[in-house]
Chains A and B, each alone.
Chain A
Amino acid sequence: MNIFKLAVRGLMRNRRRSMMTLLAIALGFAAISLFAGYTHNVYDGLERQSIHGELLGHLTLSKRGMSKEGKLNPERYMLNAEEVARITGLLRNEAHVKLVAPRLSLSGLISNGRASTIFIAEGISPEAMQGLQAGVLTEEEERTGMYVDIIKKLDPLHSENALLSFGLADMLHLKKGGQASLLSNTLTGQANALDITVGGTFDTGNAGSNDKFSFMSLSLAQTLYDTNGAADRLTVLLDDVDQTGIMRERLQQKLRGAGFDMEIKTWQELSDFYNQVHNMFDMIFGFIFSIVLTVVVMSVANSMGMTVVERTREIGTLRAIGLKRSGVVKLFTAESLMLTLLGCLTGLLLTFGVRYGINVAHISYTPPNGASAIPLLVDMDFWRTMFTLVLMVVVGTLAAYLPARRAAKQAIIDALGHV
């Protein structure tokens, strides 16, 4: 028997009910896949922001213990000029390695001559800064020029220039070209001060750091720290984010072989914000997914339950003329399979439509802890959409199993006598 043909005809029998169930499935599916697409966009944005915007690169290398003990004993954990050169040389020839950038972070006080406040600064070469930021904008963002001002640029010709975050510049009434003084400790613990010129301002994207962050050239940072060619870590940029884990292992082995006991952290391990947002959205997604899946299953089970009751006589007839119990179960589960599959495919079309509408509407919003508005965009999360489709179809089909099994177990004479 062509069970699917019979299933389709069965669905057409009570069109309104089938349509309402199909709509419930379609809306549920669209809600899940749109949210998955939105979170995919957020994850993707945060990934780009972390790797390229925050200049974390894909991997960060430092001497083992640097992250815990480095502030207490910087001399021990700092990479000297020779180590920086040797490690850089070892890494540069590796496949997938696009860039190796020595970095030096420091903190201290910044003054405009009248008032002072704390600052946290990153020393990085202007070329490395430019290289790390390549890819921070999507093609669409680059094309429209909407977010071009988030690119931070240090002037390679003026090493005395530093970039200040918006809040910090605003607090000290400093504008581009303005003068300020930095006071910090040297590597040996002495106080050291330098005059800088404000080379520009930037948005950290985070309200918590937007009033204290600064970028300066590596040479300026090294001068302030009174160290020649030293760095506290090396940032490695890869050509493929999916290689991050593999490359960590590979580089670790290579450096160990060369006599360096290094700690290598991935961008995900270093970006707390990314992890927090990811975990939060994953939890929300799971919550929404569970609710929608429950609604869909209830809807399908209710619809199929009613269908089975209405067609009890028919089931009796089919059993009488030779359909086995398993055939009855197959018939109704096939009907449910068709219904959920059609519902999911309708939901997929709905997802494409709504996604397109949202993406061309240029909606923007300011996220929690965000310093500025970001666009609301929805991606197509292929894997989670496929997962939703498969799970919905499987669970929706199983939702018909119990009523179908109950019907199949009914005595034929009772089913035939059903009114």
Chain B
Amino acid sequence: MTMQTNLQPLLRLREIRRRFMLGETTIEALNSVSLDIHSGEFLAVWGPSGSGKSTMMNIIGLIDAPTSGEVWFDGQDTRSLKDDELTDFRGHKIGFVFQGFNLVPVLTALENVMLPLQIQGVSEHKARERAMAALIDVGLERFKASRPDKLSGGQRQRVAIARALAVEPKLVIADEPTANLDSENSRMVVDLMRDMNRARGVTFVFTTHDPRLLEHVDRKILLRDGSIESDEVAQ
């Protein structure tokens, strides 16, 4: 099913609800959230702990399904996709940057960046070329043979950004990408994401606790108790 609209957003959330069971208690993590995200946006989702930021990112990133509501991505109603189709869809269109970097410890920086490409079936030679280009973009070509344990936190997160960008996604999801970094590295990582957003036109959506990082974004969405409290576009 494809949406017929002239101003088609990259991502459209409609009336998203997400409930979790915690023992016998039902937690309403997201409550009737509707949102459009357009291509090329650099968007931050912020709010206090437990406001539903990560849940929203998981749903936007198609790694979790809402209890009810619609998620349209690039004109595709994601509810109609089976697990393997959704996995393929995600692998080609969405890049992920995790709070804990989530690099594979036994692979080098270059191999980590190559990994999503090789999962897609890109040949080793091409994957190496594209991964190397992504590493150059994040300024880590010198560390291509280093394993994650030989890299600093900031460097690991840059490798993770390179891994996310290597597949040339339409959207990069970064859930608290600076939470484990000091302020200097945090700024560096956000600057890097911003540069990539401008240079490649890739849409970035990230969550943060740090109000200082919000100065860099085009748009910021404040979540509170599972609902959007404010949606501001920077002047």
Q: Does A194 reach chain B (CB closer than 8 Å)? A: no
Cβ A320 vs Cβ B124 within 8 A: no
A13–B105 CA distance with the chains assembled, in angstroms = 8
Tell me, rounded to whole Å, the shortest Cβ–Cβ distance linking A175 to chain B: 77
- By a CB distance below 8 angstroms, the chain B residues around A23 are none
Evaluate contact between A321 and B116: CB separation under 8 angstroms. yes
Number of B interface residues at 8 Å Cβ cutoff, please give it. Answer: 28
Bound state CA distance, A408 and B84, in angstroms?
Answer: 12
In the complex the two chains form, what is the Cα distance from A35 to B192 in whole Å? 64
Q: B106 — which chain A residues lie within 8 A by C-beta?
A: 6, 9-10, 12-13
Task: Check if A314 sits within 8 Å of B116, measured CB to CB.
Answer: no
Which residues in window 49-108 of B have CB below 8 A to A?
58, 61, 63-64, 83-84, 87-88, 90-92, 95-96, 98, 100, 102, 104-107
- Interface status of A63 (Cβ within 8 A of chain B): no
A318 to B106, CA, bound (A): 14
Q: Provide the residues of chain A in CB contact with B104, threshold 8 Å.
A: 6, 314, 317-318
**Stretch in A181-189, A279-287, A322-330 touching the partner:** A322-330
Contact assessment for B115 and A321 in the assembled complex, using a CB-CB cutoff below 8 Å:
yes
| Cβ contact within 8 Å between A1 and B83 | no
Separation of A325 and B83 alpha carbons in the complex (Å): 8
Does residue B163 face the partner (Cβ distance < 8 Å to A)? yes
Q: B63 touches which one: A13, A319, A326 (CB < 8 A)?
A: A319
* A306 in the interface (beta carbon within 8 A): no
Q: Is the CB of A320 within 8 A of B96?
A: yes
CB of B87 within 8 A of CB of A324, answer yes
List chain A residues, Cβ under 8 A from B120: 322
Q: Are B98 and A317 in contact (CB under 8 A)?
A: yes
Q: Is the CB of B63 within 8 A of A416?
A: yes
B119 within 8 A of A: yes
**Residues on B with beta carbons closer than 8 Å to the beta carbon of A394:** none
Chain A contact residue count (CB 8 A cutoff): 25
Q: Which residues of B have CB within 8 Å of A413?
A: 58, 63-64
Report chain A residues within 8 Å CB of B91.
321-323
Q: Are B119 and A1 in contact (CB-based, < 8 A)?
A: yes
B118 at the interface (CB under 8 A from A): yes
A125 CA to B53 CA, complexed, in Å: 100
Contact of A313 with B102 in the complex, beta carbons under 8 Å: yes
Check A322–B119 contact: CB distance below 8 A. yes
Known contacts A9-B106, A13-B105, A313-B102; decide if A322 and B88 are in contact (CB<8 Å).
Answer: yes
Closest to A411 in B: B64
Please measure, in the bound complex, the distance between the C-alpha atom of A413 and the C-alpha atom of B105, giving whole angstroms: 20
Q: Say whether B107 contacts A9, CB under 8 Å.
A: yes
Q: Is A412 interfacial (CB-CB < 8 Å)?
A: yes
Per the bound structure, the CA–CA distance linking A10 and B105 in Å amounts to 9
**Bound state CA distance, A413 and B118, in angstroms?**
23
A144 at the interface (CB under 8 A from B): no
Q: Determine whether the beta carbon of B118 is less than 8 Å from that of A1.
A: yes
A276 close to chain B: CB less than 8 A? no
CA gap between A203 and B100 in the complex, in Å: 79
Residue from B84, B96, B105, B118 within 8 A of A2 (CB atoms): B118
* Residues in B whose Cβ lies below 8 Å from that of A320: 61, 63, 90, 96
Task: Flag if A321 contacts B64 (CB, 8 Å).
Answer: no
Alpha-carbon separation in the docked complex, A78 to B107 (Å): 82
Q: Which listed residue, A13, A313, A323, A416, touches B87 by the CB 8 Å rule?
A: A323
Look across to chain A and name the residue whose beta carbon is closest to the beta carbon of B121.
Answer: A1
Asked whether, in the complex, the Cβ of A322 is within 8 Å of the Cβ of B102, the reply is no
Q: How many angstroms from the CA of A173 to the CA of B166 in the assembled complex?
A: 96
Q: What's the least CB distance linking A126 to chain B, in Å?
A: 74
Which residues of A are interface residues toward B (Cβ below 8 A)? Answer: 1-2, 6, 9-10, 12-13, 313-314, 316-327, 411-413, 416
Cβ contacts A to B, 24 pairs, < 8 Å? A6-B106, A9-B107, A12-B106, A13-B106, A313-B102, A314-B102, A317-B96, A318-B115, A319-B63, A319-B87, A320-B63, A321-B95, A321-B96, A321-B115, A322-B87, A322-B90, A323-B119, A324-B87, A325-B83, A325-B84, A325-B87, A327-B119, A412-B58, A412-B63
